[in-house]
Amino acid sequence: MAPSGTLTSFRLPPLPTIREIIKLFRLQAVKQLSQNFLLDLRLTGGWLISAPEMSPPHPWGRGPGDLARTLWARVQDKIVRKAGNLTNAYVYEVGPGPGGITRSILNAGVAELLVVEKDSRFIPGLQMLSDAAPGKLRIVHGDVLTFKIEKAFPESLKRQWEDDPPNVHIIGNLPFSVSTPLIIKWLENMSHRDGPFAYGRTQMTLTFQKEVAERLTASTGSKQRSRLSIMAQYLCSVQQVLTIPGRAFVPKPENQVFASLKLFPFPEPRPRLTRQTSLHLHASFTQRKARSSPPPLTLGISGLLPIMLSVLAVIVLHAYTLRSSIIVDLRSKH
């Protein structure tokens, strides 16, 4: 682990490409886990071609690619760059897979990168990165939904909620199957200031499939408005910072577009969200979409109470998110 007060300059040595890692370890995306590998070098950091007919340089510095090397430029991962300045930061990457984004985070000069990967097939490739970056990369073979991040980084990083954010970031390309339960969990953590937010207002830069991203960013009155958008916008600013075409991934997903969002907790105090509030919100939107539900008047008092609580939760959180958007708009004009 690098000392928190020491600025270091670090670059990974030459390594096999992500495509070669996939071939070397015979990795295949599992459809049931909604896995997609991000291979577009302009997004994950790599060699940016300046002539479309030329092939990338050979990873070991030999072969026909050598002649083209001067026409290529190493570029920072766009997703990582959107996270802001990561120099000497402590980064928590979720679901690194074969390590495409992981490489760019390491090259951004972080103090330490902690990755949590559930799929054991990816561990050998990540270990190769760890060997190439001594003391920089820590690998946890586990489930992000149960991992305790609040004790993973030094206590000295912790900040008061109203202060500047800690030098802690969360970055990840979230599979569709885990994205909703994970973001709900993190939003509840944010409300209670525990989990990743035990350090303070930890910033998140996360990549989602379009459907999830639209629900997180949906404005009041939008058809995409949901429990996710209300909870997220009640607690933090939500900004789409990058759109990623499906062709950047292997296998090419059925959902053609992905989006990277930046979520930054508000410094102003908010009444805490309870698990029950989240459930009421979920029930409210489920009832709205369920065309076959019986009319409320036929449910009786016991049946009406959950609906009334759900509606009240929606009204209160709508009011807060609307107030927050007005404040942000006024600040931007001044």
Q: How many helices (H) and strands (E) does the chain have?
A: 11, 11
Binding residues: 36, 38, 95, 117, 143, 173
Binding residues for S-adenosyl-L-methionine: 36, 38, 95, 117, 143, 173
Query: What is the spatial distance between Cα 323 and Cα 119, in angstroms, rounded to a whole number?
Result: 42
For tokens 């969200």, what's the residue? 273
Pairing of β 90-94 and β 203-209: unpaired
Q: What are the residues facing 73 on neighbouring strands? A: 48
One DSSP character per residue, 284-309 reads: HHHHHH-TTSPPGGGSHHHHHHHHHH
- The answer to whether the CB of 246 falls within 8 A of the CB of 255 is yes
- The answer to whether the CB of 39 falls within 8 A of the CB of 248 is yes
Query: What is the spatial distance between Cα 324 and Cα 233, in angstroms, rounded to a whole number?
Result: 8
Query: What is the spatial distance between Cα 327 and Cα 329, in angstroms, rounded to a whole number?
Result: 5
Query: What is the spatial distance between Cα 147 and Cα 145, in angstroms, rounded to a whole number?
Result: 6
